[in-house]
Structure 1
Amino acid sequence: MVACRRPKEEKSTSDFSHCIHCQGLYNRKTLWRHMRTCPQNPTNEKHTVGQRRVQSLISLSLPPPADVSKSVWTIACEMVNDEVSDVVKKNRYILLLGEQMYNRLKSHSGRNNYVKQKMREVARLLITARSLTPIHNIEDFIQPCNFSHVIKAVRAVAGFSEETNTYKIPSLALKLGHSLVKIANSVECNALMSGREAVAECARNFRRLYESKWNDVVSAAALTTLGEAKWNKPQVLPFTEDVRTLHTFLYSKQQEFVNALQDKPTSKNFANLCKVMLTQIVIFNRRREGEVSKMEIQSYTSRDQTPMHKDIAAGLSDFEKKLCSYFQRVEIRGKRGRKVPVLLTPDMVVAVDFLIRMRERCQVPVENKHLFARPGALSHYRGADCIRLYAKESGAKHPEALCSTKLRKQVATLSTVLNLKDNEMDQLANFLGHDIRVHREFYRLPESTLQLAKISKVLIAMEKGRLPELQGKGLDGITIDPQDEMDVSSNSSSDEAELQTSSCRSQENEDHMNAGNLQDEGPQDEGLEVSSKKKAKMGSQKAHVGRPKSPSIVDLDVAHLKPGPKVIVKRKWSEEEVNAVEKHMLHFIHSCRVPGKADCVSCLLAEPHALRNRDWSAVKFYVNNRIAALKRQQSR
């Protein structure tokens, strides 16, 4: 090597680089000083300063390796100049891995960072393997005889502890396994194209070893470590009051920043309004913040604004038609390339249109295609940073719970309270942008809540030795007091309810006979009141308005005769009593569930005036008879 300036001590070849202007060989640490005063440096590049910038320019001046595009080579040259970046630039298969990921992903601002991260992960694995194992090149990784060395290197990079069988960075071990399989595919393809059948066979054998052994020696412990890290962590969901406070605060800020941008179109005012609108859209739609942050102007301007089709509008209510004309819908790219919708209110549309008109005056580059663009840059604002900023400024009691992930989980979790049907749950899952199986597994009520609220009832019953009494009952129909007071309600008309109904009917037949005898012999006591047939018929017609007719919708009350035995007299339900019961018990009738004593008592306490002449058993028999009549009507 012939350096322009000889070093005072021994140096390695990697410590020197050529000047991109005069091609002189200089020390890499001081090359940036020479380039500022290089005689052959053009006048328009006199501003080039800084060691990192110089190293990137030098790397970019070199031609990219074969089968590697200029874009991927630029990503590799923009890395921090260290040992890892040197390995990336000098290893062909690491660059091919980046090329494969670059071509697979859609062009967006986060793609280059993702590709850079994956290439650096494999480069760190190669550096560790060189220090601990006989492996020196990437091709050595896919040799079946080196599989044990590969496992050793992966465990070392991920921080594996043999004593506890855990990883310090478990996700890294899983990611490296996926990257090695992709590298094996690249090696096999290149070997087949160059006619090296032996190398291609080694790559296929490595994949077989990976499929049979990798889970046992790497993935199992990594997944266990990831799962145990989530144990006993509190599940925090946003409070409704905090969400409302944040919405109110954002609306006031939107009006303030719109007026400020109209009066003074500066980059600062543009940035403030841009961040407020990004936060509003993310929170209102419960979208992933990264999806909305990367929204492009083309997606917004090309949204469907055609009026609704008349045939489709015929199946909607008047209120739903108003909603369709009120909101505007934009389709953007979601996770895994899914198409996800974003709904915009008229205020949002006006503010976003105003942002687009002010882009040029606020120094936003024309090349920046993002809707929420940064002035003077080609990037966009991050939704997570904006939400965190305004959550703290809004005065919410728990601002740490206001993030896009927890807001999405809140709307999916609280949707169980609405008792949605399967098709409605599918629509909600599609709007949130995830599969219905993921929705049911991760977005239902928290597991801790389910265990405390429902499974604990079964455990209490087993502890009290009363589990046989729960036969045929559902978790929602069991009411158990931990203080040894137990009440069981059935989800359907059980055997017990049927027995009570049959005994009620037999008693009713007996009452007909007793009432006939009383009418023949005359009244036995003035305290006994028997309604006339005309009044009974009018009361029956009023009680049966708007519900299925059934002769069994009656109740039996006991009237004590002073001189004689007890006589049970039929008494029709008045319209006031029917309305009072159905106000609180209609959901039991629709779900065909007979209420328990506690539910009936609650109904009596809620309507003390209307049901003053009824007891809890009368309410229960009324609901049971309504259920029987409803089932007979449905079976016809």
Structure 2
Amino acid sequence: MHMEYLRNRGNFAHNVDVLNAGVGNLVPRKQPRKDCQAQNFLHCIHCHGFFTKNVLWRHMMTCKFKPSVPQKPGKTRVQALCAFAVPPPPGVKVEFWKLLNNMVQDEVYSVLKSNFCIMEYGEHLYNRLGYDVGKHEYIRQKLRELGRLLICSRKNTSLKTIKDHIKPANFMQVVESVKLLAGYDSKTHAYRCPSLALKIGHNLTKISMLLESHANLQNDYSAAKDARTFRRVYETRWNELISAASLRTLQESKWNTPLLLPFTKDVQTLHSYLDVQQQDLHSKLSTEVSPQTWAKLAKVILAQVILFNRRRAGEVSKMTLSAYVCQNPSDPHEDVNEALSDLEKKLCQHFSRIEIRGKRGRKVPVLLTPVMKQGLDLLVGTRQECEVPRENVYLFARPSALLPNTELDQLADFLGHDVRVHRQFYRLPEGTLKLAKISKVLMALDQGRLAEFKGKTLDDINIDPEESQVTTTRREENDTAVPDVSESKSQKRDKGRQPFKRKMWEKEEILAVKKHMMSFITSCRVPGKSDCDKCLELEKVALKKRNWLAIKFYIKNRITALKNKV
């Protein structure tokens, strides 16, 4: 048995040298019946014997040198594990080699692993993004895109390497290969996979930059000039030949796509169910420590935080334990306190704010209700007793398990859009502003009453965190209030921009406008100055407090309201 192991180790060292050099004869554990290429073989991770891929899994089940101790859970694909057993080529990092060998061991994998430019591009991406395990799948995806391009080019063009794709003289062949790979239809001028064509274009430009930098370091000015010239040709012709049709295909595919939105009642039912589950699991875990109960409670609270904050799952699930323990206090500074209303001060006391990493490294806040914080405190306090590994840095960990190799990508700024505020709050600290203002919208969403505040600003919504009823400071009217421009323009502003003074439209004024301007509302046309002046002339008494701009904006707001109803 020991002699067999020594023989395998010797053959393993020989096979590694042959694979790295690309010259020589391989020594498999068993000779295959048919001739096979080198990429069809892999070494057993236990005995280092050389087997074909299609029988390797069978050998692994009965290998004499397989350890008797149970393997740690995680990635168990046989081919990936065995591929990592081969030492990395000279100059390739072990960490990047492990990332690479987690791919499916197919033709694309063999091609990209043997191409210098693709490997160089992969290491470039790993140096930038490798610290985040969630980005490893993205890196593998970029490499596989280039591997598929190279396979397609070798079958249909004279291009044999990725470096050949960067030469300006071969640009039209690159275009031909990309069209074939992305499924371009010359009759409909559409792509079967338009996003792939766009992604490959971006990858080629980045590779051209890497090749130019290497050429400059080696004083190869001819190669550097080729890379620069390729980018110039790319900037001039790529949009015409590839991007325009790809973007058009993407846009047209979204036409007439139904928008599926949940009913308010369904959202309320989900929140109610999670609240009941959270209370029940919290009580059980407080009474008796159990890894199963801990995991269930973590899932429920994770769902609550995602729903309440309207966050993408990847952002909240990656929240670290240190971020929760070192969360920012919600109490605003004394000077800031003076600029907040009593309600906003109460909201700052009610919610807790945690800042986590979002898309593109942005800092994004997450708000926690007292019930959520109470449950998270219990989870943190019982981590060790519930067998959560100490090396697991995430708040929503899994007891007695390793982390998955890939997670969802991080995305979006706070709520996915830019929230604008009045000038008087412009210089408030960012954390206090988001806690005091955005929490109103989140509570309205949580209660399923957001539709009641259509057209309202953040300052117009008053929600007591301890009550379920929601009130507004503005009177509910069927007609929208408009700014009195005549008064606002007549007043000189000495210090900055002041908010408009709004006047609610009286019933007599509304009837006067509808009498002469209803045709503009029904046809969704905004009237001009002459049309508004005619209305004022005919209704001098009823509209004596209005000017032509007030009438124009009233009609505009009515049209907007009609469009929103549709």
Is the shorter-chain TM-score for this pair beyond 0.5, marking a shared fold?
yes
CA distance, structure 2, for counterparts of residue 487 and residue 204 of structure 1: 52
Trace 1:45-444 onto structure 2 (pairs within 5 A): 53-105=77-129, 107-305=131-329, 307-379=331-403
Taking structure 1 as reference, are residues 237 and 43 closer, same or farther at Cα in structure 2, changes over 3 Å only? closer
Tell me, in whole angstroms, the C-alpha distance in 2 between the residues paired with 1:124 and 1:79. 14
RMSD across aligned C-alpha pairs, in angstroms? 4.5
CA contact 1:330–1:343 (8 Å) conserved in 2 = yes
Q: Deviations over 1:154-184 (max 9, x none)?
A: 1112111111000111111111111111111
- Residues 381 and 82 of structure 1: CA distance in aligned 2, closer, same or farther (over 3 Å): closer
| CA distances 1:129-160 after superposition (whole Å, capped 9, x unpaired) | 11111111111110111111111111112111
Match of 2:533 in 1: 495
- Measure how far apart 1:381 and its partner are: 12
1:5 aligned residue: 30
- Is contact 2:153-2:160 (8 Å) kept? yes
Gap change, CA 1:504 and 1:19, over 3 Å in 2:
closer
2:41 equivalent to 1:16:
yes
Q: For the Cα contact (< 8 Å) 2:330–2:353, is it kept in 1?
A: no
Secondary structure of the corresponding residue to residue 29 of structure 1: helix
Letter in 1 for 2:40: D
Cα shift at 1:284: 1.2
The answer to whether the 8 A contact 1:184-1:206 is kept is yes
Percent of matched pairs sharing the same residue: 39
Contact 1:287 1:408 (C-alpha < 8 Å) held by counterparts: yes
Q: How far apart, in 1, do the equivalents of 2:235 and 2:217 lie? A: 25
Q: Shift of the alpha carbon at 1:378?
A: 3.5
CA distance in 2, matches of 1:339, 1:246: 29
| Residues 479 and 487 in structure 1, CA contact (< 8 A), matched pair in contact too | no
Secondary structure of the residue that 1:371 maps to in structure 2?
A: coil
TM-aligned CA distance change 1:48 to 1:130, over 3 Å: farther
Q: Evaluate the alpha carbon distance shift between residue 272 and residue 95 of structure 1 in structure 2; reply closer, same or farther with a 3 A threshold.
A: same
Give the Cα separation in 2 of the matches to 1:380 and 1:11.
Answer: 34
Q: By how many angstroms is 1:380 displaced?
A: 6.9
Match of 1:470 in 2: none
The 5-angstrom pairing of residues 501-516 of structure 1 reads: none
Shift of 1:504: 9.7
Q: 1:194 to 1:235 in 2, by over 3 A?
A: same
Deviations 1:420-464 (A, max 9, x none): 8699899789979xxxxxxxxxxx99xxxxxxxxxxxxxxxxxxx
What's the offset of the Cα at 1:52? 6.9
Aligned pairs (5 A) from 1:413-562:
479-480=518-519, 494-496=532-534, 499=537
Deviations along 1:23-56, one digit per CA (max 9) or x if unpaired, are 54433433455566666x4756796999974433
SS of residue matched to 1:5: coil
Q: Distance in 2 between matches of 1:291 and 1:128?
A: 37
SS of residue paired to 1:7: coil
Q: Deviations over 1:521-580 (max 9, x none)?
A: xxxxxxxxxxxxxxxxxxxxxxxxxxxxxxx99xxxxxxxxxxxxxxxxxxxxxxxxxxx
Indicate conservation of the 8 Å contact 1:76/1:88, yes or no. Answer: no
Partner SS for 2:518: strand
Q: 2: CA distance between counterparts of 1:19 and 1:204? A: 45
Tell me the SS of whatever aligns to 1:479: helix
State the alpha-carbon separation in 2 of the partners of residues 175 and 504 from structure 1.
62
**3-state DSSP of counterpart to 1:331:** strand
**Could you tell me how far 1:89 is from its partner in structure 2?**
2.0
8 A contact 1:144–1:209 mirrored in 2: yes
Q: Which structure 2 residue ranges, 5 or more long, are not aligned?
A: 1-24, 440-453, 456-512, 558-566
Segment of structure 1 superposing worse, 178-187 or 371-380:
371-380
Could you say which residue in structure 2 is the equivalent of 1:29? 54
Q: CA deviation at 1:126?
A: 0.9
SS in 1 for 2:386: coil
Preserved contact between residue 275 and residue 381 of structure 1 (Cα < 8 Å): no
Partner SS state of residue 30, structure 1: helix
Deviation at 1:481, TM superposition (A): 9.1
* Bigger radius of gyration among the two: 1
Matched-pair contact (CA < 8 Å) for 2:168–2:230: yes
Conserved 8 A contact 2:133-2:405: no
Contact between 2:330 and 2:352, CA under 8 Å: does it hold in 1? no
Q: Which moved more, 1:11-20 or 1:493-502?
A: 493-502
Q: Tell me the secondary structure at the aligned position of residue 114 of structure 1.
A: helix
Query: Residue 332 of structure 1 aligns to which amino acid in structure 2?
Result: I
On the 8 A contact 1:56/1:77 being kept in 2, the answer is: yes
Change (3 A) 1:43 1:315: closer
Moved more, 131-140 or 256-265: 256-265
Distance in structure 2 (CA, Å) of the matches to 1:481 and 1:499:
18
2:202 alignment partner, SS class: helix
After superposition, the Cα gap between the structure-2 partners of 1:46 and 1:9, relative to the gap in structure 1 and judged at 3 Å, is: farther
Match for 2:32: what amino acid?
P
Aligned AA for 1:86?
S
Letter of the 1:479 counterpart:
M
Counterpart secondary structure, 2:51? strand
- The letter for the 1-side match of 2:227 is A
| 2:448 equivalent in structure 1 | none
- Rate the CA distance shift 1:49–1:482 in 2: closer, same or farther, 3 A: closer
Q: Retained in 1: the 8 A contact 2:43–2:83?
A: no
CA contact (8 A) 2:330 2:348 kept: no
Cα deviations across residues 561-618 of structure 1 (Å, max 9, x unaligned)? xxxxxxxxxxxxxxxxxxxxxxxxxxx89x9559999x9xxxxxxxxxxxxxxxxxxx
What's the CA shift string for 1:454-481, capped at 9, x where partnerless?
xxxxxxxxxxxxxxxxxxxx99x95349
Structure 1 residues 246, 36: CA separation in 2 closer, same or farther (over 3 Å shift)? closer
Encode CA deviations 1:54-75: one digit per residue, 9 max, x unaligned: 4334322333235432222111
Q: Which secondary structure state, in structure 1, belongs to the residue aligned with residue 360 of structure 2?
A: helix
| TM-score computed with the length of structure 1 as normaliser | 0.61
**What is the alpha-carbon distance in structure 2 between the residues aligned to residue 504 and residue 45 of structure 1?**
91
Residues of 1 paired with 2:219 and 2:167: CA distance?
18
Quote the Cα distance in structure 2 between the aligned partners of 1:154 and 1:308: 56
Given that residues 126 and 139 in structure 2 are in contact (C-alpha distance below 8 angstroms), is that contact kept between their aligned partners in structure 1? yes
- Compute the displacement of 1:344 (Å): 0.8
Cα pair 2:520 2:527 within 8 Å, conserved:
no
Secondary structure, aligned partner of 2:138: helix
CA drift of 1:212 comes to: 0.6
Amino acid at match of 2:182: A
How many residue pairs were aligned?
451
Whole-angstrom CA distance in 1 between matches of 2:526 and 2:214: 70
Query: Which residue is 2:476 aligned to?
Result: none
In 2: Cα distance, 1:594 partner to 1:206 partner = 54
Contact 2:387 2:400 in 1 (8 A): yes
